[in-house]
Amino acid sequence: MIFENLEDYGCEEVAFFYDKGSGLKAIIAIHDTTLGPAWGGTRLWSYHNEEEALIDALRLAKGMSRKASISGLDVGGGKAVIMAKPEQKTEALLRAHGRFVETFKGRFLTGEDVGIGVEDAMIMHKETDYVAGISKEVGDPSPFTAHGVVCGIKACAKDVYGSSNLSGLTVAIQGVGHVGYNLAKELHKEGAGLIVTDMREELTRRVSQEFGAKVVTLEEIYSVDCDIFAPCALGAIINDETIAKLKCKIVAGAANNQLKENRHGKMLYEKGIRYAPDYVINAGGLIAIYMESKHSTAEEGMKKVEEIEEKIWRIISVSKEHNEPTYEIANRLADERIRNKRREQETSKKA
């Protein structure tokens, strides 16, 4: 079954790690290293079983390959997942994970993701140099991710509403953790109205108090009247059940793997809802960390992040020209760059 899953997702390698002392159970999936070493954050989540964790790692790793490719970065895609509850996160567990990352000797570089913050990444860094997003220059990549999402939303708004001005539009944000909070902050400055939800009441309370956001339940967020739905939590939330509830014209958010299946991207298209492919619009954090590795400043990194607006606009334009869903256009562009690089490498070997 494991090899079948690797084949289904096109992944090169998957490794499992168990540390008895800390209780760490982790998986690292490397999807593709054609463009360079695999980059991908570490996610800590209470998975139901090993298969669910493996599939999540494989899906996320593939998304990272496409994210790096379409962003013009010379790195590949990978992902690490830790099977644990938040209360099981200890320094010993994080350091054990750092040792796991170290075994790849640079073929895999990790950082923050769901359940893993900057302080956690710094603990992992005690055991390995292959951790990003902990420098003073960039630090927490969440603001960069959020800014990229705002840029992508502006491209969608320009297409759907005729203007990139977000003032007066209503955005429903699902998940107001690190990225979702920064997204709400930027959208509030842009003059947008906010509707939010999150599993953690203290997070929605904060956004409500600071930005005047309306708070709704986890289930209500799909059916609220809004202009833009911004998924910023976990993946697979665009599916048969939720699409039927949506009352927006744009889906554009920071969550990875938003489409449960590819056909759901087509369903959005047929319903007249403009979808910003997730790995394009949420690439800001990865771009910032990559730029940092090239010794760029935070300002230069942010400027590179702002190119997301033009990328989303290009994808939308091609989608309309060819009458194809946006996710298909994005997949084709991302995969084409990897294929072309692979051909170059094969030709070089033969020469």
Residues labelled catalytic = 79
Name the residue with tokens 């790995």: 279
Pairing of strands 38-39, 76-83: parallel
Q: What is the C-alpha separation between 323 and 278, in angstroms, rounded?
A: 20
What Cα–Cα distance (Å) separates residue 191 from each residue in 8, 147, 167, 225? 43, 15, 4, 17
Q: What is the C-alpha separation between 95 and 166, in angstroms, rounded?
A: 43
End-to-end alpha carbon distance in the chain:
38
Q: Do residues 344 and 36 make contact, with C-beta atoms less than 8 angstroms apart? A: no
**Which residues, 6 or more positions from 223, have their beta carbon under 8 angstroms from its beta carbon?**
245, 246, 247
Q: Which of 166, 141, 138 is nearest to 152 (CA)?
A: 166
Number of C-beta neighbours around residue 21 at 10 A: 9
Q: Phi, psi at residue 322, to the nearest 5°?
A: -100, 0
Q: What is the C-alpha separation between 135 and 123, in angstroms, rounded?
A: 13
- Helices and strands (H, E) in the chain, number of each type: 14, 12
Q: What is the C-alpha separation between 16 and 238, in angstroms, rounded?
A: 29
